Amino acid sequence: MRTWKAGDRLTHRFNPELGPGEVIAVEGRTILVRFAGADEPVRLAAASDALVPFVPGPGTEARLGRRPVRVAGVLADGRCALEDGTVVAAEELWPESGGGSLVDRLARGEVDPIDDLANRIDALHLQNLRQADGLGSFLGGRIEIYPHQLHCAERAVRQDPVRWLLADEVGLGKTVEACLIASHLIRTRRVSRVLVVAPETLTIQWLGELWRKFHQVFVLMDDKRLRDVEREHGRAFNPFEAHQRMIVALELLVGDRRLAELAASAGFDLLVVDEAHRLRRPPGHPGNPAYRTVAPLARATRHVLLLTATPLEDDAHGFFRLLQLLRPDEFPEEIDVAQRLAARRPLPPCTSATRRADLGGLAPRVPRPVDLPDGHGWREVERLLGALRSRPPRHEVERRTLASRIEAALSSGPALEARLPADAAHLRRLARAAAREDPRIVWLADQARRWREAGEKALVFVAHRETLEWIREELSRRAQIPTSAFHEQLGAAQRDLEVARFRRSSGPPILVSTECGGEGRNFQFCTRIVLFDLPWNPQVVEQRIGRLDRIGRRDPVEIVYFRPPGGLGASIVRLYERLGLFERPAGGLVRELSPVATAIAQAAVTGCDEIEPALVERLARRAHGARSRIEAAAFRELHREPYRPELAGGILRRVPAELESLTQEVILSACERLGFEVEPLRDGRSWSIRLGTRAAVESLPGVPSGSEFTGTFDRSEAVVREHEDFFASGHPLVEGVLAEILDGPRGRVGLIHVSGQGERGFGLLAFYRRGSGFVGVAVDNQGRRRPDWVARFGGPPLRSRRVDARDWVRRPAWEPTIRRLAAMLPDDMGPPVALAALRVG
């Protein structure tokens, strides 16, 4: 495959009317070309075989400046000798337009099969649906369509630059909104280079969301990848220039100042910062390390998206600090936040803050506590905790180690065993005894049988993979219950298969998952969530519950958790119940709940199982107070154009109803015409498509020979069947096939004969580029513009009779008629991309 560079001269084999062109930019798999016959630069697939380098040879007609010249010969050094004796470099010559136009082809009767013409016209209409003027450009993702998310994304991309604060309530899809905005900016080529900065625990989730839902390929810049880049390019190379789109952990940038500086200097077009509430800057303070790390990045990047779980009502100062990162000119350093809020001054158009109440509320949470018996079983766990605490820690390292082991012991005996030194034989015996008698596994095995008989599904969360494997073995041994698994060591494809197996009605009743089960998967079909253990960070508990407690769920969210009879485990449960963690969302309470993990660890290592009662009450008051402020939404009206329930109908009516069906028609028709192996699956709800050995093209842009895909064109199917591809905007096959249709030779000139329902006539139907889309123009035999013909006959489906071209073109008046009508087509729109003679009646 040829590699193009800026300055290269070329021509388009199948669009000779474009004339000569010059490459003015290379952007990933596409190039931007300025053609003599086009009013504006044209973006083409770099791998297209339609593009031919301009190589002057004897007889080539060209221009030297404004002077027409002819090449007499080419010298050994590559220079050209002209017929007038001048010797010039080949780069100084500009080729004259060559070949015939579409009008010439039609006048000569060189027409394409009607099926190819129909496929091209359908593709032109599909391209219009996909463009930025409507909602089509947002709809390529494997997501359910929610009006408030489209409302937010549309408002954001109307701005230039896009510098936006996403502050929707937890569970309403801020990540999806950010992906919608980013995907739109990428598709409309407003941005090319993108950096996502997220907490380390969420980087894999972002990779999954962007690829699985939006067909966007990002690279995770972790320690391993940084070492690889240094090995490949040298230490002096900026690792953030190695890829166009990347994800990096906030902690990695905070811990390496040089790396943060390199990120800021790498020239990203779009910066996305998740959990931006972690960027804190108290009054009179330069900011915490996270703030000081991200601020230079935000200043250096044109487009910025910040996602925060803390609404304006809960932390006005922190909220305005984030607005300062986005709009420093509008929010100067000395701004009086309290005064501005008291004056009720509206915020600039750069925020969205949709609440659950704006959507009519979400399904309620239903806590289902399971009281564990005060018997032999849990006493083994208490005996294990007592042995762990038998030697008080002497310094901070020992305190952290002890806290980690106690947390693991409360998860399961196997989780603790994996964290014990080799010489801890006594603790190992106690851990195994605790596992044998654990009452939670007894209860789970009994319930699993009932869930299987009722056809119900349960998502069981654990903190450690050792606990996961132990639960699966015990359920198989005790109750012969098969289970699915989801953990970090599984590859992406295996995770897809595990989820697909679990989802099937005949599949396992239980999927056991570590925290990575929170990476954006759709588990809303589950009946319940089981918190087998309780993380000490309440935000992790909230993330677990959030897998089910999300927009779109209709059934109550059943939350099963275990109440130990006493000890530290019981204290943790009481604390979480007092905080309302199992009853109401806590995603916006990051600041209020931040002391919880430290308080639990303190109680664990000191041997005092009771968490300080005064602290519990103080945390509970803060949490309940914050929830009340958030729900009151006292500053809601300060946000410009907030989403309101009555907007939903108007937004949904603008969603192109035919987008999915037209995509299927265009892509399948093209694949069959190109000789691909196309096979329907599941009664046509899914399709297998392969670029086999009989394909008419060796490859497609971004799709190598031999590629094979299994997927669906139906959004609802794609949301459910996550292991299959979603053939929509952004998918490599869809983009490759459309590039082949739009840039290739098939279906550019044709003959159309349609029923006129009593009307008779003859004319031309032409399609022209307009911006990033296309427009049709028709003229009749009297030279009149016929927009009604375009509306009736120029759109999908094209209903033309089969035409024998010889019957039309043999008529003596054919060529002069075509040229006369062509002269009546617009002369200010550039050359047409498709042209057909149209007979009506």
Q: Tens digits of per-residue pLDDT, 275-324?
A: 898 898 887 788 899 999 999 999 999 999 999 877 676 677 788 888 88
pLDDT cut 90: percent of the chain above it: 45
What single DSSP character describes residue 703?
A: B
Confidence of residue 697 (pLDDT cuts 50, 70, 90): confident
Give the residues across from 458 on adjacent strands: 510, 528
Q: What is the DSSP pairing of strand 270-273 with strand 194-198?
A: parallel
Alpha-carbon span 587 to 538, nearest angstrom: 9
Rounded CA separation 734/794 (Å): 23
Q: Mean pLDDT over all residues of the chain?
A: 88
Nearest to 307 by CA among 286, 325, 330: 325
Tokens at residue 355, please?
Answer: 């609440």
What's residue 421's pLDDT? 92
**pLDDT score of 99:** 44
- pLDDT score at 229: 92
- pLDDT value for 98: 47
C-alpha distance from residue 376 to each of 379, 435, 437 (Å): 5, 12, 7
Domain ranges across the chain: 9-101, 104-128+745-840, 140-355, 365-632, 659-741
CA distance 496 to 498: 6
Mean pLDDT value of segment 717-742: 89
Fold matches, 140-355 and 659-741:
no
The answer to whether the Cα torsion of 299, 302, 308, 313 is positive or negative is positive
- The model's confidence at residue 517, banded by pLDDT at 50, 70 and 90, is low
What strands lie across the sheet with 749-754, from one edge to the other? 749-754, 834-840, 761-770, 773-780
Please name the fold of domain 659-741: Dihydrodipicolinate Reductase; domain 2 (3.30.360)
In this predicted structure, which of 238-242, 623-627, 668-672 has the lowest mean pLDDT?
623-627
Neighbours of 305 (CB within 10 A): 26
SS3 303: strand
Q: pLDDT by residue (tens digit) across 613-665?
A: 888 899 888 888 877 776 666 666 678 888 988 999 999 988 888 899 999 99
The set of residues, in sequence order, having a beta carbon less than 8 Å from that of 490 and lying 6+ positions away, is: 498
Instruction: Give 378's contacts (C-beta < 8 A, 6+ positions apart).
Output: 372, 438, 439, 564, 565
Domain 365-632 fold is Rossmann fold (3.40.50)
Torsion of CA 716, 722, 727, 729, to 10 degrees: 90
Q: What is the pLDDT, as a whole number, of residue 801?
A: 86
Least confident range from 444-453, 458-467, 495-504, 561-570: namely: 495-504
Confidence band of 261 (pLDDT split at 50, 70, 90): very high
Q: Does domain 140-355 have CATH number 3.40.50.10810?
A: yes
φ/ψ of residue 768, rounded to 5 = -125, 150
β-strands 303-307, 761-770 pairing: unpaired
